[in-house]
Chains A and B, each alone.
Chain A
């Protein structure tokens, strides 16, 4: 399968990419690792007429400690998150989840900024960033703004990112609280049928593939905050969700999975 024709531009800086986005408007898409966008283009589900390659912007690939946060460049690849010592020490959930995306060859290409911008509710890393209460830094022609992960996702493959903005950095509060990630799927490299991320001893609980965006299990989080047990909180995990129905699972089964996986994740994270 071959994508529809497009023009290919290479941006050597975030500023150059944003200026090109301004020039080409909504016909253009940013290309990072391409492991979500290129398959969609091959299926002709996406037909941008201009691709702006941002994967070569070397100064957007970094992990550094910054004022109680890990600052992670948007073009940092999954394989780098998997093996980075600072990520392992200060945001272990993120490194663990990065190692569960696709397979090793996919992780050699995929980027953190790319998977967030793609905003697939079935993807693992957006949910990890959500549970960790990460902040997404978006740069546009007028400068940068910081968007809480909880405010970032708006619908299937949709976010608050403007047409002329790109993600340049992801900021994760550092922490050593109990964490866990449960990914339920039937084959090794599949997306999660349902996934649950737990950060900071249950302060953050996020759900994969339980709606049109990655979600926080707010009722379960509130229960943990007021001293509920893992099983009491898990019973509330699917509150307020509208899970999708597909060949893998119907909504009822997803609701069941969300509760079971939340209980497992909370207990593994050390919540009694």
Chain B
């Protein structure tokens, strides 16, 4: 598999969950583990460009796929480097900052990954469609209002 454009090859036990593999073997800890029952969406990543809850996928199922995590969204990361800061953020990351779309921040990596996947499928959504598109991601600070604002704002640019 590739993770954020880098080829990764590991021997894993079949029961290793993809989220554990990414965090512990690949060493990308930006993806959080929340509920661990595919309810909350904190562990959302992209597998071949589509949002997936990585707590409910086995690492072995992802063999041969292209994975993107929150670390891989920024421009320089997409070009094979390491994200250096706000200047090369993805428009969705920038919109989250501009709209103050986070409070404690725990849901944010998953929220951003779900939102970027959603905009690929619906580039010009209504507010209602954004809310439905993010139904699989929970913010326990209940900061949904600004999250929806951020996604609508990014939809204009992304």
Contacts and interface: CB of A to CB of B under 8 A. Distances in A.
Interface of A: 1-8, 31, 34-35, 38-39, 41-42, 51, 53, 55, 79, 83, 102-106, 108-109, 188-189
B38 A104 contact: no
B14 A104 contact: no
**Could you say which of A2, A3, A31, A105 has the most chain B C-beta atoms within 10 Å of its C-beta?**
A105
Contacts, number: 80
B51 A105 contact: yes
B3 interface: no
Contacts of B71: none
A38 B58 contact: yes
Contact of A104 (B13, B47, B56, B114): B114
Contacts of A109: 52, 56-57
Contacts of A105: 38, 41, 44, 50-53, 114, 117, 136
Interface of B: 13-17, 20, 36-39, 41, 44, 47, 50-53, 56-58, 60-61, 114, 117-118, 121, 132-133, 135-137
A76 B24 CA distance: 32
Nearest to A108: B50
Contacts of B56: 34-35, 38-39, 106, 109
A38 B57 contact: yes
B36 A1 contact: yes
A215 B117 CA distance: 35
Nearest to B49: A108
A106 B14 contact: no
B13 A106 contact: no
A185 to B, nearest CB: 11
A83 B122 CA distance: 11
**Could you say which of B47, B61, B114 has the most chain A C-beta atoms within 10 Å of its C-beta?**
B61
A119 to B, nearest CB: 19
**Could you say which of B14, B36, B47 has the most chain A C-beta atoms within 10 Å of its C-beta?**
B14
B113 to A, nearest CB: 9
A57 to B, nearest CB: 13
Contacts of A6: 14-15
